[in-house]
């Protein structure tokens, strides 16, 4: 899923300091799963903001709405009848949400309430870790199912590098050296020879370096499936 962290209350309050009536829009997708932009989090943010504004003697009216997803125009269209009733909208979806909203409702102002961080998963309750860099050419099968592009600080295709010490990356003592894990996993399964061949230079054309990407599925566009 896409993982995000909520912006601080003070930062969000500052964004709408001059507004009197706003909407907070959550999303039932990834940000609900990573506990940052679902119904619960939207309501908590609304209550916290109302308390803060009341304390300053500057009440604010806040409505909340949680969209099925903010990354699909059909769901974004679901707030067309109410979106004009507000001075601003705070979106607690990933960075995609406020953009889809801004593109559809051109006269409204949308603020991002979260910082979108990475594609990852929960390794335990409350802890999310990056697993995918969205490079566009998946090759994790070559590395024991562990991605060195996303999980190695240098995105090395051949590793580990000299900065690996006792399974830890030199960049951060809390970061495992994924190449150490890849080698160990291959040794455990008796397939270390898989790593002997030098992996060629990775083409980054499919990654972000080639500019914004688009995925086109003709069969869906034509409505055949």
Q: Which residues bind another protein (CB under 8 A)?
A: 8-10, 40, 43-44, 47-48, 50-52, 54-57
- Across-strand partners of 169? 164
Task: Provide, rounded to whole angstroms, the least separation between the CB of residue 122 and another protein.
Answer: 18
Beta carbon nearer to another protein, 53 or 69:
53
Beta carbon nearer to another protein, 43 or 87:
43
Strands 127-132 and 114-124: what pairing? antiparallel
Task: Provide, rounded to whole angstroms, the least separation between the CB of residue 66 and another protein.
Answer: 14
Peptide bond into 160 cis (omega under 30): yes
Beta carbon nearer to another protein, 46 or 169:
46
Task: Provide, rounded to whole angstroms, the least separation between the CB of residue 17 and another protein.
Answer: 14
Beta carbon nearer to another protein, 54 or 191:
54
Beta carbon nearer to another protein, 8 or 85:
8
Beta carbon nearer to another protein, 62 or 93:
62
Task: Provide, rounded to whole angstroms, the least separation between the CB of residue 63 and another protein.
Answer: 15
Task: Provide, rounded to whole angstroms, the least separation between the CB of residue 46 and another protein.
Answer: 9
Task: Give the C-alpha distances (Å, rounded to integers) separating 173 from 131, 132, 152, 176, 177.
Answer: 18, 21, 13, 8, 10
Task: Provide, rounded to whole angstroms, the least separation between the CB of residue 211 and another protein.
Answer: 39
């Amino acid at each position: 899923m896409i993982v995000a962290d909520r912006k601080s209350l003070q930062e969000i309050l500052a964004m709408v300091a001059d507004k009197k009536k706003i909407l907070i829009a959550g999303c039932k997708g990834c940000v609900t799963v990573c506990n940052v932009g679902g119904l619960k989090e939207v309501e908590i943010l609304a209550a916290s903001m109302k308390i803060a504004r009341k304390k300053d003697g500057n009440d604010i009216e806040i409505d909340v709405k949680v969209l099925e997803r903010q990354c699909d125009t059909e769901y974004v269209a679901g707030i067309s009848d109410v979106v004009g009733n507000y001075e601003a909208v705070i979106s607690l979806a990933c960075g995609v949400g406020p953009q889809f909203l801004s593109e559809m409702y051109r006269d409204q102002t949308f603020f991002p309430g979260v910082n979108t961080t990475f594609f990852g998963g929960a390794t335990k309750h409350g802890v999310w870790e990056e697993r995918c860099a969205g490079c566009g050419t998946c090759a994790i099968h070559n590395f024991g199912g562990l991605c060195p592009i996303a999980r190695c600080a240098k995105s090395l295709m051949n590793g580990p590098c000299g900065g690996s010490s006792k399974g830890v990356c030199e960049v951060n003592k809390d970061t495992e050296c994924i190449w150490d894990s890849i080698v160990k996993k291959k040794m455990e399964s008796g397939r270390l020879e898989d790593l002997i061949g030098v992996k060629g230079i990775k083409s980054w054309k499919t990654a972000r370096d080639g500019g914004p990407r688009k995925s086109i599925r003709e069969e869906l566009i034509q409505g055949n499936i």
